Structure 1
């Protein structure tokens, strides 16, 4: 059984956490996300594992969900593109169903849910930013203009620069994160490799991936 929190959220039980992957079985693909967000003014991009596949130009593994990154201040514009759906705020095994603005502030992660089926369709990271400048959650001194870190596929699907995706995967690399690094590093340009090496040295000094960069 989950535990209700004073702020209206719930601490999920281990059984509920184990059941979550099944609720992502109907999640969107990158093309569907791009279709639904066509014309939005805020910069957004596919993040995490799907971003690396978009960078490489092919799907290299199965993905249990799909994540996008947006400036936190632009969440309302993204939310408005999904009428009839609700956003649950999530973090550290906790969930706030159909989160209020106050509850959203408890975490940066937000799951789009179909209230009819209970299925989750999209994971939205609300990222810190200063206007058109992206700020890294792990180190606020790391900043890049969105124009420099949002790339596009030939079909126009925006995705996060692979060196930043790998920086986030480096903190606690799971087997799939290690596989993502191994299959991506050979595709990075010299500039991208140098950027990733510099970021890893700053955020995760001595990281084993540095030896391959």
Structure 2
């Protein structure tokens, strides 16, 4: 078990793309990098880099990645080895390193699907067709669509300062249908109100 949770030296987007382009799974960049790929420029420093994978394809990903990387389950504040053949039904977060002495290089986030629909884990009534959750850069790197990434950021227990800044930075450039989807999803998850949904409604941004 490792405890060095701040020992991050993340690899680049192009390095991630080089790794996962050889693995027969559906994947995309997530987190703050997904928003920057949408904007077409790096807007801030990123402490890590996230890769979105579908849970049902995890063993395929493990078989390829474990040849060159060590994979740890990050759950309940602990990091424990992910063992070969172990199907993770509830673990959502995997940290990846070259060896036990090297820093963390990238993070895998599992998302759930059902009947070709992605399911938002915090409010399972919010769904979207699997084929409609990723888009690509001009160079072909897939990433999570910005409205979905903003829902993950805004739907957490606490909106961090960087997430608030990301929202303010990205919102103006979203397409109308993306804006409506994010607003609707926030209202479903937070029927009693949410700062972003309220700002959208009142145009206070």
Both proteins in one fold, TM over 0.5 = yes
1:199 to 165, 175, 185: 185
**Ranges of 4+ aligned residues in structure 1 off by more than 3 Å:** 98-106
Alpha-carbon distance in structure 1 between the residues aligned to 2:168 and 2:113: 30
1:145 to 119, 129, 142: 129
Aligned length: 196
Offset, 1:42 = 2.3
Alpha-carbon distance in structure 2 between the residues aligned to 1:119 and 1:35: 19
1:57 to 27, 40, 43: 40
Match of 2:5 in 1: 20
- Alpha-carbon RMSD: 2.0
Offset, 1:105 = 3.7
Offset, 1:49 = 0.6
Tell me the secondary structure at the aligned position of residue 87 of structure 1: strand
Alpha-carbon distance in structure 2 between the residues aligned to 1:110 and 1:131: 24
Please say which of residues 36-45 and 48-57 is displaced more in the overlay: 36-45
CA deviations 1:172-212 (Å, max 9, x no partner) are 21111111111111111111100000000011231111133
Q: Decide whether aligned partners of structure 1 residues 101 and 93 sit closer, same or farther in structure 2, where only a CA change above 3 A counts.
A: farther
Match of 2:203 in 1: none
Offset, 1:37 = 1.1
